[in-house]
Amino acid sequence: MIGWRSTWSIYTRELFRFLRTAFQSVLAPVLTTSLYFIVFGAAIGGRMPDLGGVDYGAFIIPGLLMLTLLGETTSNSSFGIYMPRFTGTIYELLSAPIGVAETLIGFVGAAMTKSLILAAIILLTARLFVDYSIAHPLLAVLYIMLVAAAFSLFGFILGIWADSFEKLGIIPLLFLTPLTFLGGTFYSINMLPKPWDTIALANPIVYLVSGLRWTFYGSSDVNIWVSFGITVAFLAACIAVIAYIFRTGWRLRA
Amino acid sequence: MHEPILELDGLSKTYPGGLKALDDVSLTIRKGEIFALLGPNGAGKTTLIGAVCGLVRPTGGTIRAFGNDLATDWRKARARIGLVPQELSTDMFEPVIHAVAYSRGLFGLAPDPARIEEILRSLSLWDKRDTRIMALSGGMKRRVLIAKALAHEPDLLFLDEPTAGVDVELRKGMWAIIDQMRDKGVTVILTTHYIEEAEQMADRVGIIRKGQLIMVDEKDAMMARLGRTEAHITLEEPLKELPRSLAQYPLELEQDGMALCYRGGDGTGRGKGEVADITKALIASGIDYNGIDVRESSLEDIFVSLLGEKEEQAA
Q: Are residues B63 and B8 in contact, defined by beta-carbon separation less than 8 angstroms?
A: yes
Q: Are residues A159 and A81 in contact, defined by beta-carbon separation less than 8 angstroms?
A: yes
Closest CB from A5, A88, A253 relative to B108: A5
* Chain A residues touching residue B47 (CB < 8 angstroms): 254
B15: distance to nearest CA of chain A, Å? 8
Domain range for B246 is: 228-296
Edge-first strand order for the sheet with B68-69 is: B20-30, B4-14, B60-65, B68-69
Residues B264 and B120 placed together within one structural domain of the fold: no
Q: Are residues B142 and A37 in contact, defined by beta-carbon separation less than 8 angstroms?
A: no
Closest CB from B75, B79, B91 relative to A89: B91
| The pLDDT value given to residue B1 | 47
The residue of A89, A100, A248 whose CB has the most chain B CBs within 10 angstroms, and thus the best one to mutate to test that interface, is: A89
| The pLDDT value given to residue B315 | 59
Domain limit, last residue, from B224, B243, B266: B224
Domain limit, last residue, from B206, B224, B242: B224
For residue B282, the domain's CATH number is 3.30.70
Give me the amino acid identity at A226. Answer: V
Q: Is residue B315 part of a domain?
A: no
For helices A224-248 and A100-129, the axis angle rounded to 10 degrees is 140
Distance CA B162, CA B189 (A): 11
Decide which of A246 and B52 is more confident.
B52
Interface touch B85/A87, C-beta < 8 Å:
no
By the 10 Å C-beta count (0-12 exposed, 13-18 middle, 19+ buried), B280 is classed as exposed
Of the candidates A159, A172, A186, A223, the residue with the CA atom closest to the CA atom of residue A69? A172
Instruction: Name the residue in chain A with its Cα closest to that of B102.
Output: A9
Per-residue b or e along B286-305, where b marks 16 or more CB atoms closer than 10 Å to that residue's CB: ebebeeeeeebbebebbbee
Residues B87 and B10 placed together within one structural domain of the fold: yes
The domain total for chain B is: 2
Distance CA A242, CA A153 (A): 8
Of the candidates B83, B85, B96, B87, the residue with the CA atom closest to the CA atom of residue B134? B96
Give me the amino acid identity at A64. Answer: L
Closest CB from B15, B57, B107 relative to A96: B107
Distance CA B175, CA B181 (A): 10
Residues B64 and B207 placed together within one structural domain of the fold: yes
Of the candidates B160, B186, B171, the residue with the CA atom closest to the CA atom of residue B32? B186
Phi/psi at B14 (5° precision): -115, 125
Distance CA B99, CA A9 (A): 11
Distance CA A103, CA A84 (A): 13
DSSP A198-245: HHGGG-HHHHHHHHHHHHHHS--SS-HHHHHHHHHHHHHHHHHHHHHH
Q: Is residue B205 part of a domain?
A: yes
CA distances to B62, B150, B305 from B33, in Å: 21, 17, 25
How confident is the prediction along chain B (315 residues), in pLDDT tens digits per residue? 478 899 999 999 999 888 899 999 999 999 999 999 988 888 899 999 999 998 999 999 999 999 899 988 889 899 999 999 988 888 888 999 999 999 999 999 999 999 999 889 888 889 999 999 999 988 888 889 989 999 999 999 999 888 776 677 777 777 888 888 888 889 999 988 777 778 788 899 998 988 999 888 887 777 777 777 888 899 998 888 888 888 888 888 888 889 999 888 776 778 888 888 898 888 888 889 989 988 877 777 777 777 766 666 665
Domain boundaries of chain A, sorted by first residue: 4-248
For residue B31, the domain's CATH number is 3.40.50.300
Residues B98 and B242 placed together within one structural domain of the fold: no
Residue A172 has pLDDT above 60, yes or no: yes
Contacting residues for B20 by C-beta, under 8 A, at least 6 apart: B12, B13, B14, B210, B211
| The pLDDT value given to residue B10 | 93
Question: Lowest mean pLDDT: which of A185-189, A231-235, B48-52, B72-76?
Answer: A185-189
* Chain B residues touching residue A249 (CB < 8 angstroms): 57
Given the DSSP bridges, would you call strands B187-192 and B34-38 parallel, antiparallel or unpaired?
Answer: parallel
* Chain A residues touching residue B76 (CB < 8 angstroms): 97
Residues B269 and B120 placed together within one structural domain of the fold: no
Distance CA A218, CA A52 (A): 10
Q: At B124, which helix (H) or strand (E)?
A: none
Q: Are residues A111 and A146 in contact, defined by beta-carbon separation less than 8 angstroms?
A: no
> Per DSSP, what are the bridge partners of residue B11?
B25
| The pLDDT value given to residue B314 | 61
| The pLDDT value given to residue B178 | 85
Q: Is residue B312 part of a domain?
A: no
* Chain A residues touching residue B78 (CB < 8 angstroms): 95-97
Residues B63 and B209 placed together within one structural domain of the fold: yes
DSSP state of A54: B
Q: Which long-range contacts (CB under 8 A, 24 or more apart) does B240-245 make?
A: B243/B281, B243/B285, B243/B287, B245/B281, B245/B284, B245/B285
Interface touch B78/A13, C-beta < 8 Å:
no
Interface touch B78/A95, C-beta < 8 Å:
yes
Distance CA B128, CA B122 (A): 13
Residues B80 and B176 placed together within one structural domain of the fold: yes
Residue A179 binned pLDDT confidence (cut-offs 50, 70, 90): confident
Residues B156 and B232 placed together within one structural domain of the fold: no
Q: Is residue B237 part of a domain?
A: yes
| The pLDDT value given to residue B311 | 63
Q: Are residues B49 and B126 in contact, defined by beta-carbon separation less than 8 angstroms?
A: no
Domain limit, last residue, from B198, B224, B250: B224
Q: Is residue B303 part of a domain?
A: no
Contacting residues for A199 by C-beta, under 8 A, at least 6 apart: none
Residues B218 and B246 placed together within one structural domain of the fold: no
Residue A87 binned pLDDT confidence (cut-offs 50, 70, 90): confident
Query: Residues of A near B (CB-CB distance < 8 A)?
Result: 1, 3, 5-6, 8-10, 12-13, 16-17, 20, 87-89, 91-99, 249, 253-254
DSSP state of B255: G
Residues B126 and B202 placed together within one structural domain of the fold: yes
Question: Lowest mean pLDDT: which of A33-37, A108-112, B46-50?
Answer: A33-37
A113: distance to nearest CA of chain B, Å? 19
DSSP state of B95: B
Residues B64 and B143 placed together within one structural domain of the fold: yes
Instruction: Name the residue in chain B with its Cα closest to that of A93.
Output: B106
Q: Are residues A112 and A15 in contact, defined by beta-carbon separation less than 8 angstroms?
A: no
Residues B172 and B232 placed together within one structural domain of the fold: no
Phi/psi at A179 (5° precision): -65, -35
